[in-house]
Amino acid sequence: METTKQKTISLGFLTVRKHPSRGYFGGFLVLNVLARPLEFHCTLPVQPTRAQQILYGATLDEFISGEQIARALILKAKSSLEVVFTDTLAALSGRHVQETPLIAIDGSWERSENTICHPVSQGHELKSVSALDYRFSVLSQYESDLQRIHALFHKNDSSIDLIEPFGRIEEALLEAHPAAKAA
């Protein structure tokens, strides 16, 4: 009897936090469709130089959060990712420098006072769709990424909570960087 291997679905969850004095921290959790962890990666604090602050100006958050932190964390993943969800709007700019669909879950950044800091934001035009009791957003030039939501969850009928993993990442970041607690 021949057995067929079913492709393992891997979902990425990415967050970036900006601490007032220590810089930006990134965390990335890869889960299977049962919400079990497959991988976790985090960054050391990234502190932009004064030259970067001047040269990038209003786009500094997107550069650090998306093009540096999000890109580096997604590239570290050993799992084949279907999609990466983020609660950090500025991280969406990471989609410009990597191929995996990067989708924000709107409203997921409203959390407890234990956060390292609130996610950074950005001002690009977004395209959004509501599905599965969530509102998903992408940069407008990657609107086709939103089709992955319907295809992914229609096929798999997953009941995974798409907000809860961000709490896990945040706790892991606080564990990895305890000095970030004192803000």
pLDDT tens, position by position, 107-154: 644 443 433 333 444 456 888 888 878 889 999 899 999 988 877 776
pLDDT tens, position by position, 66-122: 999 999 999 999 999 999 999 998 999 999 999 999 999 976 444 434 333 334 444
Query: In 3-state terms, what secondary structure has residue 181?
Result: helix
Establish if 5 belongs to a structural domain. Answer: no
Establish if 3 belongs to a structural domain. Answer: no
pTM listed for this prediction: 0.85
Establish if 183 belongs to a structural domain. Answer: no
SS (H, E, C) 84-153: EEECCHHHHHHHHHCCCCEEEECCCCCCCCCCCCCCCCCCCCEEEEEECCEEEEEEHHHHHHHHHHHHHH
Domain count of the fold of the chain: 1
Establish if 35 belongs to a structural domain. Answer: yes
Q: What does the mean pLDDT of the chain come to? A: 83
Establish if 146 belongs to a structural domain. Answer: yes
pLDDT tens, position by position, 19-35: 888 899 999 999 998 89
CATH of the domain at 127: 3.30.2170
Q: Is the pLDDT of residue 4 over 70?
A: no
Range of the domain at 80: 10-177
Establish if 31 belongs to a structural domain. Answer: yes
- Model confidence at 180, in pLDDT bands (50, 70, 90)? low
Establish if 139 belongs to a structural domain. Answer: yes
Establish if 2 belongs to a structural domain. Answer: no
